[in-house]
Amino acid sequence: MEKRVIFRSAWLPYVLLLPQITITVMFFFWPAAQAVYYSFQLQDAFGMSSQFVWFENYLTLFRDSHYLSSFRVTAFFSVLVATSGILISLVLATMADSVVRGALAYKTFLIWPYAVAPAVAGVLWAFIFAPSIGIVTYFLKKFGIDWNWIINSEQAMLLVVVASVWKQISYNFLFFLAGLQSIPKSLLEAAAIDGAGPFRRFWTIVFPLLSPTTFFLLVMNIIYSFFDTFGVIDATTEGGPGDATKILVYKVYYDGVKAADLGGSSAQSVILMAIVITLTVIQFRYIERRVQY
């Protein structure tokens, strides 16, 4: 049974909600509304003149084959980031959970990268893999691998995925660890007595019980790879080579901030917003039903 608090006063609940609503309106709805407004405008850089152009900005985007390829790049990128990020941290969390000695140290080190800003993470990995001075590049050369992500699109994609995943593992790890620790030990012990091995225990007990966490992380990781990876990309490949790592949010930034094309950039953010809304709705409506809470 849910607990319900009954407010006698008609206005008190609204007053209590007001600070949160104000913040949401100011920082979420208002900018979103402005993006929608600007996406129908054609403006010069200084805002001296603006024309209402209906859907011209959107039509221009969909006529551009490179914008469409940016969707492919984004989809590929976010699937890679979300799945590998979740898998790796699940493995790490399971292992950290079973460690008896020095558990705190392991956990601290695993959580550490979360404190690093995406841009810093990008710079870090860019240095390690830098085409002429990177330490990994140096060793790869010994194995006969020519590592230059500046002009090799597959390597560029690999670099941004690795940097983004590394950054997100701590977050996933924390949630998985909390999830694992809330699984009653008695269940696992009972299964062990019945003769279930570690793998069987994991697949039949732990994994199903973790599914709410996994689902939540799936949503968060997709959103992360859509938006927050911007810093990683800006600090490393800047969308290149060609447009191999130009994900949607990076193009929004480039066109709007660097190229002063407000209309086109706003139209892209509106599309991006629509995609994320749709994805979230789908995830909650269809996938959530199969998740056991």
Partner 1 sequence: MTRKSLLAAFLAAAFATTAQAQTEIQWWHSMGGALGDKVNDLANKFNASQSAYKVVPSYKGSYPESMTAAIAAYRAGNAPHILQVFEVGTATMMAGKGAVVPVYKLMKDADEPFDPKAYIGPVSGYYSDSQGNMLSFPFNSSTVVFYINHDAYKKAGLDPAKPPKTWKEFNAAAEKLKAAGQQCVYTTGWPSWMHIENFSAWHNVPIGTKENGMAGMDTVFQVNSPLHVRHVAMLGDMAKKGLLTYAGRRNQAEAKFASGECAMLTSSTGAQANIRRTAKFGWSVNMIPYHDDVKGAPQNSIIGGASLWVMGGKTNNAYKGVARFFAFLSKPEVQMDWHVSTGYVPITKAAYDLTRKSGFYDKNPGADIAIKQLMNKPPTANSKGLRFGNFVQGREVIEEEMEAVIMGKKEAKPAMDEAVRRGNEILRKFQAANKG
Query: x-or-dash pattern for partner 1, window 33-72, by CB under 8 A?
Result: ---------xxxxxxxx-x--------x--xx-x------
What phi-psi label fits residue 195: left (phi over 0), alpha (psi between -120 and 50 degrees) or beta? Answer: left
Binding residue for partner 1 (CB under 8 A) from 203, 242, 273, 278?
242
Phi, psi of 51, rounded to the nearest 5 degrees: -120, 145
CA distance 207 to 97: 14
Confirm or reject binding of residue 245 to partner 1 (CB under 8 A): no
For residue 230, the one-letter residue type is F
Confirm or reject binding of residue 144 to partner 1 (CB under 8 A): no
CB 49 to partner 1: min, Å = 4
Cβ neighbour number for residue 8 with a 10 Å cutoff: 5
Binding residue for partner 1 (CB under 8 A) from 94, 111, 114, 148?
148
Confirm or reject binding of residue 257 to partner 1 (CB under 8 A): yes
Piece in contact with partner 1 (CB under 8 A), picked from 79-87, 160-168, 258-266, 278-286: 258-266
- Residue carrying the six token digits 């790879």: 225
Exposed, middle or buried, 142 (CB in 10 Å: 0-12/13-18/19+)?
A: exposed
CB 34 to partner 1: min, Å = 13
Binding residue for partner 1 (CB under 8 A) from 243, 275, 276, 279?
243
> By C-beta, is 149 or 224 nearer to partner 1?
149
CA distance 139 to 152: 18
Piece in contact with partner 1 (CB under 8 A), picked from 6-14, 100-108, 214-222, 235-243: 235-243
Binding residue for partner 1 (CB under 8 A) from 97, 228, 234, 238?
238
> By C-beta, is 67 or 77 nearer to partner 1?
67
Q: Could you tell me which of 230, 233, 256 has the C-alpha nearest to residue 245?
A: 233
Residue partners of 45: CB distance under 8 A and separation at least 6? 260
CB contact at 8 A, 29 and 235: no
**Quick one: which H or E segment has residue 119?**
helix 118-128
Binding residue for partner 1 (CB under 8 A) from 114, 166, 216, 254?
254
> By C-beta, is 85 or 239 nearer to partner 1?
239
- Residue carrying the six token digits 């597959």: 154
Note the residues at the interface with partner 1 (CB under 8 A).
42-49, 51, 60, 63-64, 66, 131-133, 148, 150-153, 238, 240-243, 254-255, 257-261, 263-264
